[in-house]
Amino acid sequence: MGREPEEKSLVKAKFSRDLATVREDLMELAGLAAAAMEQSVRAVLTRDGDLARRVIAGDAAINSLEEAIDRECVRLIALFQPVAGDLRQLMAVDHIITELERIGDSATNIAEEVLTLGHLPPRAIHPSLASMAQSVQEMVRQSLEAFSRSNSHLARQVCLADDDVDAMDRAIIQDLLREMTGAPRAIVPSQSQINIVRNLERVGDHATNIAEQVVYMVEGQSVRHRCQG
């Protein structure tokens, strides 16, 4: 009779250690995805093709780590059968790593547009693109801080910021479309910039999705599409 509580305590301790390792791996993945975003944006603004190629080459490491963490989440759920807050943490981690992998994909897409622009006559980058990129990167940073601190209030602030990013997305694209209409030579480079802006907007969506998972993890309720409340 006395051994059963002791065994449960050991199992709980083992699960806690493994969950902590998974969280650490998630933050490592987050670092890779955030760095890819920062480098892809810098490559756009400096027209640095070599940096863009490094971002593209680095996507394989992001994909590999995401798959490894996903396998570990499945293993922990099957082995320990966690409930309540422990289960919510694992489920949140599994959702968040998917969003991080997609952020890496968007960084790769942006880097590919840098290479496209490198083959075209130089044209000015839209003046608001850098500001939009900064806002998106701050959303990613705050969503990950919210996860690390289990802070649902901060997560909700990320959701609120998405409206501003969406507004910038619409305004920049409208400007670029007008430029394309008035100058045929602007069509290809402006389309490339539109692709960059759309990928930035998607990264904002991914940051919002991460924030929604944090609210679910902390508060125990799904707030998809209504995280701002």
Cα gap 27→3, rounded to integer Å: 36
Residue 116 counted as domain residue: yes
> What are 30-68's pLDDT values in tens digits?
999 999 999 999 999 999 999 999 999 999 999 999 999
Give the pLDDT confidence score for residue 228 in this predicted structure.
55
Question: Residue 2: which H helix or E strand, with range?
Answer: none
In a domain, 150, yes or no: yes
Q: Does residue 214 have a pLDDT over 90?
A: yes
| Domain presence at residue 164 | yes
Q: Is residue 41 part of a domain?
A: yes
Pairwise CA distance, residues 139 & 171, whole Å: 19
Q: Is residue 227 part of a domain?
A: no
Q: How confident is the model at residue 78 (pLDDT cuts 50, 70, 90)?
A: very high
Q: Tell me the pTM.
A: 0.92
Domain with 170, as residue range(s), is 3-219
Tell me the CATH number at 136: 1.20.58.220
Listed in sequence order, the residues at least 6 apart from 166 whose beta carbon sits closer than 8 Å to its beta carbon are: 201, 204
Q: Is position 229 within any domain? A: no
CA dist 140 to 81, 82, 137, 159, Å?
Answer: 31, 28, 5, 11
pLDDT tens, residue by residue, 3-38: 667 778 888 899 999 999 999 999 999 999 999 999
- 228 domain residue, yes or no: no
123's enclosing H/E stretch is: none
Integer Cα distance of 65 and 142 in angstroms? 22
Total number of domains constituting the chain: 1
Q: How far apart are CA 163 and CA 91, in angstroms?
A: 26
Q: Contact, 158 vs 143, CB < 8 A?
A: yes
Contacts of 178 (CB under 8 A, 6+ apart): none
What are the tens digits of pLDDT across the range 104-153? 999 999 999 999 999 998 889 999 999 999 999 999 999 999 999 999 99
Q: Say if CB 191 and CB 180 are below 8 A apart.
A: yes
Q: Is residue 224 part of a domain?
A: no
**Contact criterion met (CB below 8 Å) for 73 and 93:** yes
